[in-house]
Chains A and B, each alone.
Chain A
């Protein structure tokens, strides 16, 4: 026994010298070396091709159409509205981040735990794709306005963060009120002078459909999930039928239903616009998926919690609201982000029913007389791809971080 404890040593992460590292990670065996040569060649070729592509391509089509890609057919005279809304949303994000940070610090102090406040360097490391995308957009601008918007948004974000950090605890308790207020203000600015969402387009439309789609689908999804776990057979049957029906069909069929057939199911006087129709379809679709996500969270709540609540004499409603849901919803956050990303990507399907989102803008730009049939899809589509990649990649990384922080799956 004594010998064992003597010989045991703590494994230390050794920093290998470059030659050692290459021998271990690139040339371990003969086939490893062969693979390294093949893939090394591919990497070099890819890099050379990419640089050549960037030099040889003409980005004029993006420069001219930047507004089309970002906001679609939004009236050009009113472009200050999306700009102002961007600044407001930046302030909102800063404020939420600041409040969350302050709240986390307060909780940590109360529990006597160390609190690690994110340094600016770490924030940049986490959100570098977003910053890179903003950089690309700024490179493509020909007017000073976007610079102004980005600088104001940055300032608004920092001010919002400081406000969130610095606010006294009693004010912080109403953080959600101020946040909702900012959202309402941004919405009012955007829809001012009669520009309802049926006239929105571009990347702005993708973001709107994603946020509104998940937001509006959430209550329905919650009800469906609770219905699916209900002890009442009739309620359960209705929920399961709806969820399985929706999950069994592609989103496109619902979009077609929304565009071509929704009118038939409504009273004659109601004639919703195209974006509204699409939004209805998306909400109906997402409700089923949100329900499944929430169901996963509900299943993660140990049975003992419900039994303990019942032992305390809580009513079924109170058990659900005070004991089950807070724990279940916390556990669903990572999966919810996953669903959010999936919808974000799916919003491009509105192209099929004729809306001009950012992908539709790419098609529209390529059919303008001065850019027609010049093979410029290879310029516009990667730009659109970058917009989605930045959003999805960042969000999925944040979800993974949250998952670790919340310890989901470890308890």
Chain B
């Protein structure tokens, strides 16, 4: 039985005391902030709760019918929708551009590699806000006014809005959508089944061919059966108005193109680094097997590179999403701009901004959880 050390040298006591001290310090700091906040709000007669969400927002959202008299919570939802409109279109675009440029930078063709290098090294080293400003002020605002729009290649372009060819939906569109979803599921199932057959028997699987054929058959047959539920719709100028097509504000296209180009340059760097991180022996082994350059990339290099690249690319998606908050600088009505304008209309700033942070936080933490999961899944299993 050893004698216990004196209290002030007992490791357990020290550890407990240190933690209590840290918590007390943090708690004290939070208390002071809270005390000041409630004091100041009361002194200035500002509401302390979140009731202001039910009051009229006073915010006019461009390109959306919601009125300034609608409660703030509904206007905020419109803002979130506009943020997502940038995210869902931008992420696939920037992935494709980023991967292409990243691979191009390693091309054996000197001109292609140089072009990719110039693109990456230029875009990566300037602030995203500057790119947005350039696209918005130096390109889009210099276009002709809406009264005399530019028409070329199916696009109707003015400095206020840009209309692109899109589709118009007929009566059977909903049903057709579900049919496509069903077709996609069946195609996925068949692809899985072909993979299983291949793994068991070694016969060629042709899973991509199978899946595309099934989806194609469903798409074509459905289109004829439902008598053309969706049809292409080209924008047409008649007098002062543009009809048909999909019309978006210039600010939306400025945000989209600037952020996509900017983020794609970062993705390209990640892709390049990941390809270089694949051991040289893999390329040499593929050469020894007489694989063509495309087969080498498709079956040997990219699958291994993507394993390394996916977590940092997802964190670029996260950066892209956070950068959509720059819409505030060119008047694109995403959630940050709406909160900004609500504060300008006298809504309490601390609560509004906390809410805004919360919205971004929910999104970020969801994605981080996904990244952690992928990190675990993608780790090499070494026995």
Contact = CB atoms under 8 A, between A and B. Distances in A.
A72 to B, nearest CB: 17
A260 B134 contact: no
A265 B37 contact: yes
B111 A40 contact: yes
A253 B357 contact: yes
Q: DSSP majority for the A interface?
A: helix
B323 A250 contact: yes
B110 interface: yes
B353 A257 contact: yes
Interface stretch (B68-76, B120-128, B279-287): B120-128
A307 interface: no
A378 interface: yes
B137 A345 contact: no
Contacts of B339: 256
A253 B121 contact: no
Contact of A233 (B19, B41, B108): B19
B179 to A, nearest CB: 39
B115 A250 contact: no
Contact of A264 (B26, B124, B138, B349): B349
B336 interface: yes
Interface in A247-296: 247-253, 256-257, 260-261, 263-268
A25 B108 CA distance: 6
Interface string B324-361: 01101100000010011001000001100100110011
Interface string A233-252: 11100100000110111111
B125 A250 contact: no
Contact of B18 (A232, A375, A392): A232
Most buried by B among A248, A359, A382, A384: A248
A324 B352 CA distance: 42
A36 B133 contact: no
B251 to A, nearest CB: 14
A392 B22 contact: no
Given A26-B110, A248-B364, A235 B349 contact: no
Interface in A363-386: 363, 366, 375, 377-378, 381-382, 384-385
A396 interface: yes
Contacts of B40: 263-265, 268
B130 A384 contact: yes
A260 B109 contact: no
B129 interface: yes
Interface string A213-241: 00000000000000100011111001000
B36 interface: yes
Contacts of B112: 35-36, 39
A351 interface: yes
A43 B118 CA distance: 11
A352 B328 contact: yes
Given A32-B109, A253-B336, A264-B350, A381 B360 contact: no
B361 A249 contact: yes
A84 interface: no
B353 A256 contact: yes
Interface in B7-58: 15, 18-20, 22-23, 26, 33, 36-37, 39-41, 43
Contacts of B328: 252, 352
Nearest to A386: B126
Contacts of A398: none
Given A234-B19, A253-B357, A345 B126 contact: yes
Contacts of A382: 134
B336 A36 contact: no
Given A253-B356, A377-B134, A381-B137, A42 B127 contact: no
Contact of B138 (A39, A227, A377): A377
Contacts of A268: 39-40, 43
A344 to B, nearest CB: 8
B126 A392 contact: yes
Contact of A28 (B19, B108, B121, B365): B108
Contacts of B349: 256-257, 260-261, 264
6 contacts: A32-B108, A42-B115, A250-B322, A253-B360, A359-B129, A359-B133
